[in-house]
Amino acid sequence: MIDTQQLPDNVLTTQLKRVVNWARRSSMWPLPFATACCGIEVMATASSRYDLARFGAEAMRFSPRQSDLLIVAGRVTIKMMPVLQHIYQQMTEPKWVISMGACASTGGVFDAYATIQGIDQFMPVDVYVPGCPPRPETLMEGIMAIQRIIDEDGLPPAGRRRPLQLAIEPSYSPAPQPIGVTVGGRAV
């Protein structure tokens, strides 16, 4: 056992896990998936007024292979969900997801057949940022929550981060036309 009081002043002792977690939390590269008014708030958060750079998350990446934080901001439709799942699968581990706004978290005011009523049905979500749209300060609080998760857990446990694995399939079958359609005297 080494007595740390006898070490010179320029020696630092710590655990490797803490250094790796510090590096991860201080250099997150978010990928914004912004589809609506929440996207404007994501842009405002990255501006000089709110200065997302203080948290090490200013390098917005638009390639999933270079990102480790997915920010889903705005409403997601059924046709978008396979693309979003593909983007999530292309991200390298470890990866984290923020569901930003009421639309991404619960469908918001869009209670329609084409709008996903919460992305957590299809992919794991680490932090929910509430609001319609949430203020930039709220998104920064969500990013700080991700940083706390990284500090506590390090790598996300594999068993806890599974989506509900629901399939998107139409819940109806089109009925035949009750009468024939004619165009220019011809039956179509």
For residue 56, the domain's CATH number is: 3.40.50.12280
| Model pLDDT, residue 175 | 61
The Cβ of residue 182 has, within 10 Å, a number of other Cβ atoms equal to 9
pLDDT in tens, the chain (188 residues): 667 676 677 667 777 888 888 888 888 889 999 888 888 898 888 888 888 888 887 788 888 888 989 999 988 998 998 899 999 988 888 888 999 988 888 888 888 888 888 888 888 888 898 888 888 888 888 888 888 888 887 655 555 555 544 444 445 565 665 667 677 777 76
User: For the chain, what is the domain count?
Assistant: 1
**Ranges of H-type helices in the chain:** 16-25, 37-45, 81-90, 101-106, 136-153
Q: Return the structure tokens found at 24.
A: 């991860």
Q: Is residue 46 part of a domain?
A: yes
Residue 82 is part of which domain span?
29-156
Q: Is residue 1 part of a domain?
A: no
| Model pLDDT, residue 70 | 93
User: Rounded to whole angstroms, how far apart are CA atoms 152 and 149?
Assistant: 5
| Model pLDDT, residue 166 | 42
Cα 42 to the chain's mean position, in Å?
A: 12
Q: Is residue 150 part of a domain?
A: yes
Q: Which residue has the tokens 């599974």?
A: 162
Say whether 27 sits in a helix, a strand or coil.
coil
Q: Residue 36 in contact with residue 73, Cβ under 8 Å?
A: yes
Q: Is residue 162 part of a domain?
A: no
Q: Is residue 52 part of a domain?
A: yes
144 Cβ contact partners less than 8 Å away, ≥ 6 residues apart: 55
β-bridge mates for residue 71, sequence order: 32, 98
Q: Is residue 91 part of a domain?
A: yes
| Model pLDDT, residue 155 | 57
The Cβ of residue 70 has, within 10 Å, a number of other Cβ atoms equal to 23
121 Cβ contact partners less than 8 Å away, ≥ 6 residues apart: 163, 164, 166
Q: Is residue 109 part of a domain?
A: yes
Q: Is residue 184 part of a domain?
A: no
